[in-house]
Structure formats: structure tokens, C-alpha cells
């Protein structure tokens, strides 16, 4: 199997891990929704669970947060136009990244793109089903809290960081050496 196919499998794995983690948190850990199995939860549209929070340790909480906007809660609205507009934009960007993946000769960039695409599509799946994205990881130091996030957000962030590292430190044609 070539590394491009592995990049696509990585994207699919991120989507699966993201959705599975959200299912565990929403239905099992916080027990705020019915106890549907993963397959049913994945495809059936349901109501949004209420806010909930469980302290794990001094710097990590598992929370139930619905983000109807984009990163860090910007553009928060329950407007169907925004929901479908953001979803369409994310799908178009993901398609563009997949074209880049297929043409990209470097494995690290390809894997980075796979992480970004998987994360973007994992959140699109939530947005289309619930009208908002499930965020559940709450990192904090004392009373300062990082905005809640999920596995998909982490994959996008890691993918972007790896892409930047590869571009600035490993590219043969760097302008500044």
C-alpha cells in the first residue's frame, strides 16, 4: 500500500476515532443521552445533550459542550444557513486537500493532510447531524480554561503543525537555509 492510500486511511481513522470518542463521552461517560449503540448514534439525528462536566484531575475535565460556530466558538449561531455553509466550506476544503494529498510526493505532508482532512470531516459529520460540534476536552490551569475541543480539532492542529514543520525545516527548496 502506498503512502497516499495510508494518508486516506489515516483520515478515515481520525473520523472513526473522533466519532467513537464523542459517542463514548456523550452516551457512556456522561450518560446524558440514551444508550444507543455506536452505529445508531453515528447515523441517527438526535437532540443535543445538556452541558455536563466531570473532573478528571487538576488540569483536565470532560465536558459536554455544543459548538455551533467554528474554532474557539467564533460565529456561534443556530442558523441552518451557517451550519450548512460551514459544512459545505469544510467539505470543499477537504476535497482540495485530498487532491493535494494525491499529488503530494512527500509522505509527511501526505500524513499531515490526512490528519487535517479527517479532523475537518469528523466535525462536519457532527454539524450535519446536530447543527453543532461536540466538544468535550477541557484543559485548564486553575480558573483559566482553554476552549473545549475534541479529537477532530486535535487532528487538524497536529496536521497543521506537522505541515508547517515539514515546510519550514525539511523542504529542499527552502528560501532561507
Q: How far apart are CA 17 and CA 23, in angstroms?
A: 10
The full DSSP string for 20-51 is HHHHIIIIIIS--S----HHHHHHS--PPPPP
Task: Mark 149-160 as b/e (b = at least 16 C-beta within 10 Å).
Answer: bbbbbbbbebbe
Kindly name the residue from 18, 126, 138, 153 that is annotated as catalytic: 153
* Known catalytic residue at 78: no
Residues 6 or more apart whose CB falls under 8 angstroms from that of 121 comprise 11, 15, 90, 91, 94, 152
Q: Are strands 60-67 and 133-141 parallel, antiparallel or unpaired?
A: antiparallel
* Known catalytic residue at 135: yes
Instruction: Look at the chain and count its residues.
Output: 177
Q: How far apart are CA 95 and CA 140, in angstroms?
A: 35
Chain centroid, CA 129 distance in Å: 15
Q: How far apart are CA 36 and CA 25, in angstroms?
A: 13
Catalytic residues: 135, 153
Amino acid at each position: 500500500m502506498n503512502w497516499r492510500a495510508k494518508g486516506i486511511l489515516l483520515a478515515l481513522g481520525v473520523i472513526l476515532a473522533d466519532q467513537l470518542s464523542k459517542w463514548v463521552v456523550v452516551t457512556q461517560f456522561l450518560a446524558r443521552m440514551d444508550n444507543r449503540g455506536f452505529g445508531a448514534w453515528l447515523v441517527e439525528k438526535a437532540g443535543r445533550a445538556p452541558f455536563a462536566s466531570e473532573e478528571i484531575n487538576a488540569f483536565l475535565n470532560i465536558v459536554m459542550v455544543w459548538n455551533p460556530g467554528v474554532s474557539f466558538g467564533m460565529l456561534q449561531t443556530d442558523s441552518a444557513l451557517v451550519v450548512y455553509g460551514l459544512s459545505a466550506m469544510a467539505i470543499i476544503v477537504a476535497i482540495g486537500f485530498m487532491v493535494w494529498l494525491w499529488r503530494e510526493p512527500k509522505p509527511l505532508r501526505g500524513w499531515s493532510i490526512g490528519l487535517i482532512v479527517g479532523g475537518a470531516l469528523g466535525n462536519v459529520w457532527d454539524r450535519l447531524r446536530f447543527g453543532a460540534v461536540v466538544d468535550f476536552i477541557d484543559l485548564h490551569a486553575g480558573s483559566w480554561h482553554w476552549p473545549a475541543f475534541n479529537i477532530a480539532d486535535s487532528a487538524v492542529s497536529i496536521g497543521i503543525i506537522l505541515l508547517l514543520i515539514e515546510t519550514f525545516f525539511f523542504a529542499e527548496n527552502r528560501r532561507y537555509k
